[in-house]
Amino acid sequence: MVNYPHQLKGKKANPTPFKTKKSTVDFANRGMSFEAAINATNDYYLSRGIAVIHKKPTPIQIVKVDYPKRSRAKIVEAYFRQASTTDYSGVYKGLYIDFEAKETRQKTAMPMKNFHLHQIEHMASVLDQKGICFVLLHFSTLKETYYLPAKALIDFFQIDKGNKSMPLDYIKKNGYEIIQGAFPQVPYLDIIEQNFLGGDYN
């Protein structure tokens, strides 16, 4: 049984009025990928002393190594291994932050094939330790980005072990839309502050 942290229990707080407006800023229009926009956001938080959050390196399996010189090794063949946990982790106001980021071109659902059982189990473990865990879901065709608490993802995954796509309606009901900005591009800490911590990082 997963004991979820108190921050993720209960009903969602009412969104603040300024969040009801659509933003005209879109990182894709500036040639940025979703991942690049998240990385730029994390750089913004770091440079201003707001949070320290980094992308975890993808494990690499080395297949072949050449030694052109005795003192030098050269990797000539390698491949990326499946990530064992989530994409990003760090600390904010003394709280452990852990999240995954997924993107789709679909308009009505997020494919659950993008999530693996070991990632779900990792998220559940983070929640057991009272960490703040979530997923950032970007619908590139719609130009919409959502913050979905890990609890909502885990609950949906447990329905059929991730075989179904997660409807956008479910994401809207259980998550929060992130209004894209100029700086930072994907201000996900706003969601954490307004709905779980009840404060402001500024």
Residue appearing with tokens 């609890």 = 151
Residue appearing with tokens 């999530």 = 115
Q: Is the dihedral angle over the CA atoms 145, 150, 155, 158 positive or is it negative?
A: positive
What would the two tokens of residue 165 be?
């796509």
What would the two tokens of residue 199 be?
């404060």
180 is in an annotated binding site: no
Decide: 98 and 126 in contact? Cβ < 8 Å: yes
85 is in an annotated binding site: yes
61 is in an annotated binding site: no
How far apart (Å, rounded) are the C-alpha atoms in residues 110 and 166? 5
Residue 49 main-chain phi, psi, to 5 deg: 70, 25
The DSSP 8-state label assigned to residue 129 in this structure reads T
144 is in an annotated binding site: no
Torsion angle in degrees (nearest 10) through CA of 78, 80, 85, 86: 130
What residue numbers does the annotated binding site cover? 85, 87, 100, 119
Residues of the binding site for Mg(2+): 85, 87, 100, 119
